[in-house]
Amino acid sequence: MTDSPESPNPGASAPRTVTWGERIKRIVNPPESQTRSQALVTLASSLGAIVLAMVIATLILVISGKDWIALFEKMGDNLTNSDKLLDTLREATPIMMSAVAVAIGFKMNLFNIGVEGQWLIGAFFGAVVGSKIHLWAPLHVLVILITAATAGAVWSGIAGVLKVTRGVNEVIATIMLNALVNNLLQFLFDEYFRFQDPSGTLDVKTKRIPESGWLPDIVAGRVNSAFILALLISLAYWLVVYKSRFGFRLRASGGNAIAAATSGIASKKLIVTAMLLSGAVGGLVGMGYLLGESHAYGPSHPSGYGFDGISVALLGRNHPGGIVASALLFGFLDTLVGPLQIAKLPSAVIPVIKAVILLTVVIVNEVVSVKMAKRTAERTAAQLELAGAAA
């Protein structure tokens, strides 16, 4: 019996179709062997993405009849202005923490979209507890940080528990939790935190945190010690994920849950643990602004850090070094918003630049990942064929 033309090798298994979910997971959590070989490609794609983003931003300004040269002038001014560079550090601080929170989930192949809600609930409880206690300065700050981290962890842990007990997708769960926390906080502020300040103006926020609960400044009025906290969190992330037994189990389970389970790694426990850790870091995202600038929490508190963290984690490929560099880039871009508005240029070009950078890097890395996976499969097939011939 001869083989049909459609089946030249009846013993070979049909190629498996790669789902979009697997493609996305490969982007956010590539195999370690691929990560090393893609280092130069990742760097080149990041630099190329920045150039492409600037080209597109320039085209937008040209088409809209704006002075595109002013964009580069403002960038140059910010790069040579020490105050603006300090502002970059301040803007990068919450984004860096948010990205680490997201990256912890990504390492377990968990899409924690809920960092935005986790830091909001963390800031709220941190502000409430911090305003009601009076302790020695370092201890007061520590209690607030622990409270915020605990609140974020509990809020994130809900999604983890729902996933392992009821099979609820963490993306859906965390999106719903984001919506829930926004409405919950709005209700609490409307019902319990409306009061008049000494000038008679109606204010909606928590009570002011005593000075013993403030974070000290590194540079007065520019950067507070939350930046150091963000760097320490990034360092701790590197040590835990890359240098500990727990981190190895986390990466192993995230890379191949079936193989990890066969080796005795309890993936369900790791899922909940990863979500708790991710939420704990997420709860600290707003501490720089709360303890270093506003000293109270209200609806006017800045927002959006959780979503910027997703972009930075992807751009930094979940590596602490990449996250720090990407957060500084996004922080620098955020410092351009004010100068662009003063120059009567559309500040919307900043989100466009961020989006183009992110999309370009993700697309390039995905293309490279697919090609490398194909080459690996071809090498494996060739080795098996040689082994079969030798036998």
**Is pLDDT of 106 > 90?**
yes
Dihedral angle computed from the Cα positions of residues 354, 357, 361 and 364, in that order, rounded to the nearest 10 degrees: 140
pLDDT of residue 10: 45
Alpha-carbon span 251 to 255, nearest angstrom? 6
**Is pLDDT of 206 > 60?**
yes
**Is pLDDT of 349 > 80?**
yes
Alpha-carbon span 98 to 103, nearest angstrom? 9
Distances 47 to 161, 286, 358, 361, 366 between C-alpha atoms, Å = 40, 30, 11, 9, 16
Average pLDDT over residues 15-25: 50
Alpha-carbon span 30 to 318, nearest angstrom? 10
**Burial of 198: CB neighbours in 10 Å, binned 0-12, 13-18, 19+:** exposed
Alpha-carbon span 121 to 127, nearest angstrom? 10
Average pLDDT over residues 302-316: 90
pLDDT band for 84, please (50, 70, 90 cuts). Answer: very high
* Global pTM value: 0.85
**Is pLDDT of 8 > 60?**
no
Average pLDDT over residues 248-262: 85
137 token code pair = 């300065």
Q: Which residue did the predictor score with more confidence, 243 or 42?
A: 243
Out of 80-84, 260-264, 292-296, 323-327, least confident range? 260-264
pLDDT band for 347, please (50, 70, 90 cuts). Answer: confident
Q: What are the residue boundaries of the structural domains of the chain, listed by start? A: 96-323
Alpha-carbon span 331 to 337, nearest angstrom? 11
Asked if residues 43 and 368 have their Cβ atoms less than 8 Å apart, the reply is no
pLDDT in tens, 261-296: 888 888 899 999 999 999 999 999 999 999 999 999
Out of 102-111, 247-256, 355-364, least confident range? 355-364
**Is pLDDT of 383 > 90?**
no
Out of 92-101, 203-212, 357-366, least confident range? 357-366
Q: Which residue did the predictor score with more confidence, 101 or 39?
A: 101
**SS in 3 state form for the chain?**
CCCCCCCCCCCCCCCCCCCHHHHHHHHHCCCHHHHHHCHHHHHHHHHHHHHHHHHHHHHHHHHCCCCHHHHHHHHHHHHHCHHHHHHHHHHHHHHHHHHHHHHHHHHCCCCCCCHHHHHHHHHHHHHHHHHHCCCCHHHHHHHHHHHHHHHHHHHHHHHHHHHHHHCCCHHHHHHHHHHHHHHHHHHHHHHHCEEECCCCCEEECCCCCCHHHCCCEEECCCEECHHHHHHHHHHHHHHHHHHCHHHHHHHHHHHCHHHHHHCCCCHHHHHHHHHHHHHHHHHCCCHHHHHHHHCCCCCCCCCCHHHHHHHHHHHCCCCHHHHHHHHHHHHHHHCCHHHHHHCCCCCCHHHHHHHHHHHHHHHHHHHHHHHHHHHHHHHHHHHHHHHHHHC
- The gap between the terminal CA atoms of the chain, to the nearest Å, is 23
pLDDT of residue 19: 52
Distances 108 to 30, 249, 280 between C-alpha atoms, Å = 11, 9, 16
**Is pLDDT of 341 > 50?**
yes
**Is pLDDT of 34 > 60?**
no
Out of 12-16, 242-246, 306-310, least confident range? 12-16
**Is pLDDT of 303 > 50?**
yes
Average pLDDT over residues 311-319: 89
pLDDT of residue 236: 97
**Is pLDDT of 39 > 90?**
no
pLDDT band for 9, please (50, 70, 90 cuts). Answer: very low
pLDDT band for 258, please (50, 70, 90 cuts). Answer: confident
Asked if residues 107 and 281 have their Cβ atoms less than 8 Å apart, the reply is no
Mean pLDDT of the chain: 87
